[in-house]
Amino acid sequence: MFGFIFRRILTTIPVMGFVALFVFSLLYIAPGDPAAVIAGDQATPEDVAKIRAGLGLDRPFLVRFAEWFFRVMQGDLGTSIFTGLPVSQMIAQRIEPTLSLMVVTLFIAIFVAIPMGVVAAWKCDTWIDRVVMSFAVLGFSVPVFVIGYLLAYAFALQLDWLPVQGYRPIKNGVWPWFENLILPAVTLGFVYIALIARITRASMLEVLQQDYIRTARAKGVSQKSILFLHALKNAAIPIVTVIGIGVALLIGGAVVTESVFAIPGLGRLTVDAILRRDYPIIQGVVLMFSFVYVLINLLVDVLYTLLDPRIRY
């Protein structure tokens, strides 16, 4: 197992190298000029050229890439073109809100979606099943920002139960932190709940057809034990896979959710950086997310071994 983990971590290195080259190249060829954005509308072409030179943006591709890559290897993600702050500092400022949003969303999604999927499979072809699956379709169909607006309108503006926007760090108290995350997490979780519920239902349906489930019923095991003790554990592999893949959905969805609810997270940082062409931030955030995603996939693979003893690496 440890050998497997070590080998997977080693393979991360060329993957990250490829991601670094890809994202750097993409930004290099993309249209736009951060120097022009910095200089402002009234600037002369000479001003823009001076700013570009001052930022080193007029140097050849290979020189810029090599310099950036070697700095990254030393743990230095560079400096933001616009703020002049280290990229790592800017990421560190924004990581807590995004992480909080993703954790709370995951928590809500898993603890809502899995029971939904289990019940839908148990009551297959009944009205309960249809309600759950309709909800799943809705979750996939309605855009995240529409859900966000509706929830904010109902629970914040009309009922005044929850705040419309913002984020409060957990050091200021657990409830204030959680209160600000409820609406964004439910918003972001909608599509995730839909996805997990559907996969759970499909996976459970397959498992519930198995002989050992029929045997357990014949032996008089309670329905609850059959569903949650025997069937769910055997249905867990595809569910865990989807949860892992769905983290990418969360990252993408966080961008919209953070904008709708004005959460100062990494999603907004990335969008702002893209619009401004703040290359070091874009590169730094993409590298970071890629690394996180690789780690999550590794974690999912390790979890397989816990869920299914037959799986060994």
- Note the residues at the interface with other proteins (CB under 8 A): 31-33, 36-45, 47-48, 50-51, 54, 80, 82-85, 90, 93-94, 145, 149, 152-153, 156-157, 160, 163-166, 172-176, 259-262, 264, 268-269, 271-272, 275-278
d(CA 49, CA 54): 9
- Cα 184 vs. chain centroid, distance in angstroms? 13
User: Bridge-partner residues for 139, per DSSP?
Assistant: none
Would you say 12 and 19 are in contact if contact means Cβ atoms under 8 Å apart? no
- Shortest distance in whole angstroms from residue 183 CB to other proteins: 11
Please report, as a single letter, which amino acid is at residue 284: G
Nearer to other proteins, 51 or 132 (CB): 51
Nearer to other proteins, 3 or 31 (CB): 31
User: Bridge-partner residues for 86, per DSSP?
Assistant: 79
Nearer to other proteins, 262 or 300 (CB): 262
- Shortest distance in whole angstroms from residue 177 CB to other proteins: 9
- Shortest distance in whole angstroms from residue 48 CB to other proteins: 7
Nearer to other proteins, 82 or 289 (CB): 82
Nearer to other proteins, 14 or 31 (CB): 31
Contacts 24+ apart (CB under 8 A), 164-169: 164/261, 165/261, 165/262, 165/263, 166/261, 166/262, 166/263, 167/97, 167/100, 167/263, 167/264, 167/265, 169/96
Q: Is 70 helix (H, G, I), strand (E, B) or coil?
A: helix
Nearer to other proteins, 158 or 209 (CB): 158
Please report, as a single letter, which amino acid is at residue 158: Q
Nearer to other proteins, 197 or 255 (CB): 255
Handedness of CA 147, 150, 152, 156 (dihedral sign): negative
Strands (DSSP E) contained in the chain are none
Nearer to other proteins, 208 or 256 (CB): 256
- Shortest distance in whole angstroms from residue 96 CB to other proteins: 11
- Shortest distance in whole angstroms from residue 263 CB to other proteins: 8
- Shortest distance in whole angstroms from residue 248 CB to other proteins: 22
- Shortest distance in whole angstroms from residue 76 CB to other proteins: 17
Smallest CA-to-CA distance from 4 within 289, 266, 297 is with 297
Q: The tokens 């809500």 sit on which residue?
A: 108
Residues 6+ apart with CB under 8 A from 286: 19, 23, 270
- Shortest distance in whole angstroms from residue 249 CB to other proteins: 20
